[in-house]
Structure formats: C-alpha cells, structure tokens
Structure 1
Amino acid sequence: MALTRDNIERKRQSVKARSEKHQRLVRRLVMAGLAGLLLLQGVAVAILTRPGSLMSELPVTDEYVGKVATSDIRAPISFTVADTEATERKRKEAAEAVRSVYDFESDRAQRTVRRLREAFGLMRKHLEQYRRRTLPEGEKAGDAKKTAAQREEDLLRRAESLDAYMLARKSLFLKSLQAVVSDTDFLVLAKDGFSVRAQQAAAALLERILGRMIVQSRELLEAERGQGIDVRFLKDSVPQKEMTVRSFNRILDVEEARMRVEQLAAIELAELSRPTRRALVHMMVTLVQPNLVFNRDETERRRNAARQAVQPLEIRIEKGAKIIRDGDVIQPWHVRVFQAMQKLTQPRGVALRMLGTILVVVLMLGTLVWFSARSFKRITITVKDLYFLGSVMLIFVVTMKIWHWIFGGIWERFQFFPYDSLIWAIPFAAGGMVVRFVLNLEVSLVFSIAASFLAGMLMDNSLVVGLYCLVSSLVAMWSVASARQRASLFKAGALTGAVNAGFVLAADAFGGTLVSFGTLFDLLFAFSGGILSAMIVTSSVPVFEMLFGYTTDIKLMELAHLNHPLLKEPIVE
C-alpha cells in the first residue's frame, strides 16, 4: 500500500515536472517569438530607411549608354549630382560673353612726335657743326677774288661732303626716330636742313592720325562686331581707364591710316617743296603703326576668371523619385546619376549603419514595453496582446513606406502640387486608432509614442513628421474612444484630419512658408490623412478581430442588435 502511494506520488511529481518543463518551453518559445517579432521590426525599419543597400547592380559604366533599362530605378535617398554638361555649357557661355581686350596706346602720338622733334633737332645740330667747320671765320661766300666757276665748284664739293657727313650720322637719326628712312629721303630732308617748318608740319599731321585708334587689319575686328571690344587706355604702358567700343567706324587699319597721311600731306604740306613733302610722307608712313593691339593674355585671364566664377551646377534628386523607367534608353547623364547614387549607397558602412538602426529600434521598443508594463498599473498585456501590437507595428512600418511610395508615384504622374505636401496624406494615425479600438487608452498611448518615433525615422529622421504622427494619433485615440458604430469612425477621422490641418498650418508658419501655393495642398492632404486613417481602421479591425479573437465594443453592439440572426431566431420562436 505504501509502495503504491509512493508510486503515485512519484508519478505526480513526474507529471508536474513535465508540465513545468512544458510551460517553460512554451514561455521560451513565446519569448523567442516576441523577440523575433521585435527583431523583425528593427530589420524592417533598417531596410526601409536604407533601401539602397539591397539595390541590384546599377548601370554605372559607359558601356550601358544606349542600352534599354530593364526596370524602374528610383532614388533611395535624396542627393545631388554634378551636372557636368550644363556646367561646362554655362562656363563656355560665360567665357564667350567676355569681350576681347585691346590695348590702346593713347600716348603713342605724343611719343612719336617727341621722337620726331628730337631726331630733327639732333640733325640740325650736326648740320650747324658741319657749316662751322667748312666755313671758317672771315671767309665770305661772295669773295670777289673767286670766279663764278670756282664758287660753283666749291658748292658741289661741299654738297658732296655734306651728303657723306650726314649719311655717316644717319644711324643717329634712325635711332632717335625709331623708324626706317631711305638714304634718298634722308638726304632730301638734310638738304632742306631738317627745317623746323617741315618738322612742325609733320608733327601736326602725325598727331591727327595717331590720335585715332589704328589696328593692323580691320578683318581682326569682324569677329568682334557682335559684342564689341573692351579698350584699355595705356599711358607709359600702364592702364589708365577702360571703355567698351561697339562701333568700329572710327577705328582705322594701318593701310587706311597711311592713305590718309598721303591725302592730308598733299593739302597741309603744300607749302613745302615736292621732294621734301615726298620724303616727309615716306617717313610718316613708316611711323604710322598699330596703336590698338589685341591683348591675348588679358583676354584669356578674364575668360578664365569668368569660367571659374560659374559655380558647378547640380541636379537635385529627391528620395523616391524615378530616375529611369523600364524600357527607357540609358543616357550618359543617367550613368553619372547612378555613379553618384552608388557612392552614397555603396556597401561600405551600410551593414554597420543597418545594425545600428536595428539596435536603436529594438532597444527603443523593448525598453518602452518593459517600462510601460512595470510602471502603469492599468496596462495588463497578455502574450496575445504583445503579438497583436507587434503585428500592428510591423504593418504600420511597412505600409507607411508603401504609402510614401504610392504618393510619390502619384506626384510623378501629375506634378501640379509640391512633392513635400504628399507626406501629410500618409495615414499615420491609423495604427493608434486600431490599438485604441481593440485594447485600451494606455496601451494605445505607448503604441503611438513608439509609432511616432519610427515614423520620424522612416521619413528621413524628420522631427516634424514624428510630432505630426504623435499629435494625429493622440487625437485619433481620443475621438475613437466614444465610437459605438463603425460609421462613427469617419467622424473621428474627420476630427483627426482637422487637427492634422491645424498642425500643418503651424508647421508651415514655423518654416516661413505659410503664405504660399503649397499651403493649400498641405491642408488638403493633411485632412485627407485623417479620413484615410478612418477608412483603414474600418476595414482592418474586423480582420484583427478574426485573427486574434478580440471582441470590440462595436462588435458587442452588433451582436446585441435585435436584427442579429442569433437573437432574431429565439425572438421569433
């Protein structure tokens, strides 16, 4: 008997041990499932915030140019890429807009006339020295002792010696004048005594001609006729001022200037003897040189400065924008965009960033659940509730990004409203409404805080979006608390949409864009976000009721309705 009682006790202990072991196993499996669900949340957020890490190979080499894209490619992040073609085109236009620079020696006439006076004065001194040497003091030109033949012979001998004397000093004349004069013309001028009258006549004529702008050839200016030239006025090779010349009618070329010298000499030097006038014309023609010269170095310097002043142009690619469509031909600019995109989303460091994102999400959600369960007495969460909350949160994370992509596609199709306005239409309040509708206020509050944090992360770490999600969820939770019919959810959605619009209005005012065309669309989409949240809750709550076995207040009201088949049949009987 005692043995039997011991056997029974051992069996009871064995069954109890197996039961406890089974319970521990179940608890471990449940905890593992919850941990897996929590980890799945982090992975989902990491992938959705960095979709470029899972992108297929991009056409980043020139060999893809001309080929057909096999799929749509969207930008995983917002970035800018240098538009080299447009930049080079703008720089070329800027360089071409710079006018050619010409240097005008405004003091050329004065310097030429000064050299002319110095050269003539020098030769007059040498002539005076010659006369003093060949005509000693006391010798008379009309000495009665000499016959006429003797005097003529003396004159010829003196003339020949004068020519030789002056030719020996011609180099001094050319050095001072800095122009080439033939021996014949030089001797004619020497015979005239390099007279002051000839000097003054030549100087006046040269001042008139050289005071004009003279170029080597008028053909050089034909290419500049459209935009003109910039002329720097030089004095002693130092720029004094600058002006733009667009009309070239008053500019002479060398041939025209020399022709005018000949024409004016025939009039203004008429009092001089023909040989002297001819010699002066020949000399002045050689003195007429271009005084308006193209300055290549200065022109290139200005054009290079204009090119450098053009800032590199960039193409702004918004996150989610479609870069190329399936079936489109890949162009060179597509390749540059893909190269820039690959640099920003290349695998280097992506794994570490994704790991960091997962840890942040897991720690945030885990800590929030642990703190809420231990700090708020009204929060009593079962395993089923945890799975429900995890499922709703996962669906919230995925669908928020899907809505973002859907609205991005709508914007690409129409583009008559700002792209940033679409973010307000995303039904951020749907998650909080569902949880409040199924569970209670405290749990939905904790859920909304976590959902707002994740919404901000999903939308490019936007604090404004996170606050918008929190405010929208709080209003939705409060308004849905008194709902006793499914139609009442739309009233809650309308109230949520109105508060959404108020928040967006305040956000636009804070950002300084209140008075703008985009504000109207911001308000419209924000209100639509509340209505869309109500529609999602109306359609999704029955599914959660069926999957998790919840019975909501509205479900009870429907079951208690007299027209319900379960109640109608007993009443009829």
Structure 2
Amino acid sequence: MSTKPDSSSKMLWYVKLVRGVKAFLSTLTDQNIIDASAGLFIVTGVSMLLLHYARPQVGTLAIGSVAASEIIAPDNIKVEDSAETQKRRALAAQGVLPVFEYNRNSRDLSRAIEQLFEVCRDAKPGAQPSDLIEQIQQLPSGLILDREQLAVLSRHRYNAELEKLMINHLEAVMSRGVVNSRSHLLRIATNGFVRRRGGEETIVSDLSSIRDLMTARAALRSERVVWPSEYLTSERRLLGEILGSLIIPNLEYDEAETEARRKSSQDSIPPVMLSVEKGKPIVVEGETVTPAKAALLEAATRYSRFGQRTVEFAGTLIIVMMLLLVLWQYMVRYQQRHLRVRRHFLLQITAFVITLALARVMFQLATIISRWASHSPFTAEQGWKYLAPLAVGAVLVTLLTDVQAAFVFSAILAVFIGVLSGNVYLSAFTLMTSVGAIHNLKGCRERTTLMWAGLSIGLINAASALALDLLGAADAAPLVLIFDSLCALLGGLVSTMIASVLLPVFEWAFEITTDIKLLELSNLNLPLLKQLAERAPGTYHHSIMVGLLAESGAEAIEGDALFARVACYYHDIGKMLRPTYFVENQSYMENRHDKLSPKMSSIVLANHVKQGVELGRQHKLPPRIIAIIPQHHGTGLMKFFYFKARGAAESAPASLEHDFRYPGPKPQTKEAAIIMIADSVEAAARTVKSPTPGKLRNMIDTIISRLRDDGQFDECSITLRELNLVAESFVKVLTGIHHHRIAYPGYDFDKAGAATEERSAAASAGATVARKTGALGVN
C-alpha cells in the first residue's frame, strides 16, 4: 500500500519560515531599523568609494608608448575614434561657405537722388543756398551737401539727364557688391561665399569685384566714371562725392546662418568607429600605441569593468562589511570607557571617508600628472601617490580617542587603501605612516606639537617610501628614489596640516575633548577661573585641591588623569554667583544659612549645580566638562539640612528625603566617580584633627562606603579594586598636604593666634553693636 505525503506537511516549512520572519520583525525596534539603515548606507558608501578607483586594468597605455606584452580584447569592442571623427567634422565645417545677405537698398539710394532733385527743382526762385541745403538735410536720406556740391547741381539746372546719370553710376557700383570691410571678407571667405538675395542663393567665387565702402567711394570719385564731356573735372569730382556720401554696404555677413549650416554639416558626418572582436589582440608585443589603439584599450578597460561590476562590488561590499563589523565589535568590547560608542564609531567612519576621499583624489591626480610630465622623475606615478595625506585619519583618531583604537583604525585603513589602489606597496606605506603618526602623537597635549609631529611623520614616510621603492624596483634611478622620498615627506607634513584644521571641527561635531583642549582649559589665568578665584577664593582653593586628588586617583586606575584634574577646576563654578552661602568662602563671617529654612538652604545648594551648568555653556566649556558639574554631586543627600528639617518637623513625610537630594545624574564614568569622592574627601580632611595616614584612610573608606551604599556608583563601571586603589592614592596626597612640621624655636603661634582671634572677635562684636545702635538711631 503506497502512502502519499500529506499536502499540509509540504507547507509546514513555509509556515515555519513565515512565522520565524514575523517573530524576527516583531523584535525590531525603531532604533534597530535606524542602526541597520545607517550601517547599510555606510558600508555601501565606502564600497562605492573603493570600487570607483579599483577597477581591473586590461592594459591602458599612453599614446606613443610601446606595448610590453600582447593585450587581448575581453569582449567584442566597438568604440568611436573621436580624433578621426572630429577631424572629418572639422573638414566638413570648413567646406561650408559663409553666407552674405544681399541688402536691396539700391532702390532706396536711387529714391534719395530723386528726392534731392525734386527738392531742388521745387525751390523758389532766389532761395538762399543755405536754406536749400537745410531742406535737403531734412530728407529721409539725411544727405548733407556743401555750397560747391549744390552749385554744380544748380549750374546744370537740376536736369533729368544728370539725375538719371547719377542713378546709373550709383547702381553700377552697388550691383557689384559693397561690404563694410574687405579684409574681413577675405579672411572668412577664402573660397568664396554664398550671396543670398531674397529666396535665391548665388555662389560668388571671384572676390575681386567686391569692394569695401572706402574703395567704392573712391571709385565714384575716380576718372574712370564716364560723365558727359561738358562736365568739368572739378564738377565730376563733386558729383562723385555726392554719390559717395550716399553709398552704404549692401552685403552683410550672416554669422548665425553660417554657423547653423556648419553645425548641420558637422552633424551629418557619422562617427568613425573602431572595432575588434573578442579574443583578438588589440596590440601585440612591441607595437607602438597609436591614438586608435589607445581608444580601443580604454574601451576594453570599460568593457572589463562593466562585465565584472557586480562581482567586484559584491567582493568589496563583503570586505568593507567584515572590517567595519570588526571595528564595531572592538569598540563595543574593548572601548567601554567611551560611553557613546556609536559616536566614536561614527567618528572613525568619518575619518575613513575623509582619508579615502583625499587618497582617491591624489591617486587620480598622480595618474594625470605623471602622464602629462615629460621628464623623469616626474613621470613616476608612485612618487606622486606618496603625496596623499594617508596619515590624516590616524592623527585624528589618535588625538580624539586613544592609541589602541588608532592601531585598529590604521590596520583597517591599510586594507582599504590596498583595495582602492590595487597596490600592496601603498597598503604597506599606509600602515607605516599611520603607525608613525600614532607613535609621534601619543600623549600630544599642545597644538604646536602637531607641526613637529608632521615633520617626524614625514621623515618616517620618506624612509618607508625609500624602502618600498628598493623592494619593488631595485634598479630604480637615484633621482626617482629622491623624488619619491621628498613626496612622502611632504605627504606627512600635509597630513598633520589637514588634521590640525579638521581637529576643532571634529571636537565640536562629536563633542570630544582632546588632551590639547584640556591643557588649554587648565590654564589658571583663563577669565572664568580668575573670576572664581576673585569671587570665591575658598571654592577656588578647594577646586585646585580636589583636582590634585582626582588626578592622583585617575592615575592609580589608569584613567584620564588630565581630564579629572581639569574637570575639578570647573566643578564648582556655580558657587561664585553666591559664594558666601558656602562654608569655604565664609571665613569669619556669620553663616547665612542660620537665617534660612532648611528647605531654602537646600534650594540654594542645588542651584549652584544648575548655575554652574549655565556658566559652563556660556563660556563654551566642552560638554564632557559640563557633565561633571551635576555628576560630582550625583543624587547625594544634603544631610545637614535634611536632619535639621527632619528634627524640626513633628512627623517627617516619606518624600522629605527626596526634597533634600541633588538632582543628579549619578556619575556616568570612573573619572566622575573619582571626582565625587575627591570632592567629599577634600572637604572632610579639613575636619580631621591631627591627621595621620591611618585616620585619613579611615575617613576616606567611610566616605567611599557611604557613597557606595547610597547607590552613587551604580551607573558607572568603577570596581571595588579600583576604589581601593583610589583610596590609597588619596592617602598619599593628603599625607603630603597635612604632614606635621617641627615648631619654630622661640615662637608660640598658637598663643599669638589666640590673641589675634580675641582681638578679631572683639572688633567684630563692636562692629555689631555699632550696627545695632545705628539702626536704633543712637549717635
């Protein structure tokens, strides 16, 4: 008995697949979709950037070079011979005769002569010549006669024979053609021209009969013009002058029509095509490359690229995706101290794109320049490529993140450059220049150091280029080796110059504070710190001491010690707006909080955090520094005022403790936690009598325990071991500050101090009585 599979079981795999896809899609959040889209965009963009330049070369050779080997056509190739096509079209354009439009103005000129004679005949007897000349000038022709010319006409009584004779002479000259400039005619119509008259066109080959305006006027005044014998020579000349004043050009060059005909003639020439069958040789070994062969080779390169475009793009996409995934995993697993991993990852992606874009531009320029150059060593393409600022990315990542991240970045960049250029030597050169940049910029804390580092990077580049040249071409000319080394040296200098320009932009865009910026902010002469010292000297001194403690603690756990110290300088800047409400600034004055309710006192204390953040933003402090201002208090309890309020209240509500806590947030980094501990320890150390290392350690452990039990370290990754190291470093610093000194012989500072305090107290009491009596109006 045969069994047939159930149709429902056939569909079971399909149902499972659909359910699995639905389950996967249900787990996706908006952030997942955004991250995936951004990742796909980044990978595709970098892949396209690499693919654009790294295409397979069939064998592009320069015109006039000799083929070192036979190059076979990868496909049936048909390409236009642009040089031959342009040549034929140029010849076709040259064969088009210029077009001159015949202006039929002879009749108008004849009519002008008729009107002249009509006016003269109609003149009243005895009319003055000047009146008649003025009347003639009013004619449409605008003819201007002098008295001698008018006298000739008057002497012959304006007879019709003279009128007809003048018209015939004028038409005889105009009929042959008159142009404005004969030199222009000879320049553009060497082979003749087309005379267009109405709808008729005539080709004029003989240019000798064409006169310009000056020649035509001279002809009318010459003795060759036949006049009746009774006309005197002077009269003939005057009549010729009258006709010459009327004559105008009647052949005008029609440039638009001529160019249109030449364009049409060029378009009528079909392109000249070159072709070669698949598998046939384009050039053979030892053959000189002609323009036609160069065109075929270039087309073969395009055909090869087109045929492998999909495969190349897929391969490049996989490489980019794998390397960027490695970078992301490294950032997530081994760069946890950077809380904003996405931001630092995007920073490195941006550095990749900038470096690759600069490299691509320089590589293409290198190809162009080396082909244009005619003398060695400027024909060496590799030397020009060494000018590319390949160390820009490594410089930026080293300064903005850390050395470890920069090494990973450099290794990935070297692979990218290898894919971009198709040259393993450039890939090795990129790795060496990047490692050199990392080595020279480790611990860089001054912007001027960048320029000196650029020189060091350039020297490393020069040595690397020399080594790679000797490795790749042992017989390279010495001049080429020197040229390549100089280009590499300049490439290192250019890298640091570009990086120094981009560094402030990166600091602002990615909200990252470099050691260079921190060192600038540590200058105690900056206006904000000077204001703190003047308005709140106690807070200023407290900040300096907290900075010493925090720096020591950060060094103990290998944290960012410079940041910890500098952040402490600004952590209490909000106190300088109301300095006398804080005990370190009160010295011997009365405590202002004695006149305030506990709730109001807590508001004053909490406000210095908010005001400090506002001051930091006004003075454009880095966001990382500003973040320490609220974090160094976290959500700590203002115990003195809390217990004071709880003791005054008959029944303390459950929310009372919340009202006496700082707004937070809690420390987000190890450095913020260290600053929180240092802030409390520095203040508490002042209350320890006869401080010894044991007492100080006990005080520090107590503070750390209370902060830990209060949950202040819950949002940062500091460990118990690190807290112990921080405590040990604090003991060393405080022991050095509060160490015991031998008393000076013959001096009793305690007794003198007590007397001074008594005098100060008496003076203060007297001032108080005076203020009170003054208030009562007693003199």
Question: Which TM-score tier does this pair reach, normalised by the shorter chain?
Answer: 0.3 to 0.5
Q: TM-score, normalised on structure 1? A: 0.46
Larger Cα Rg: Structure 1 or Structure 2? 1
Q: TM-score, normalised on structure 2? A: 0.34
Higher relative contact order (CA 8 A, sep 6+): 1
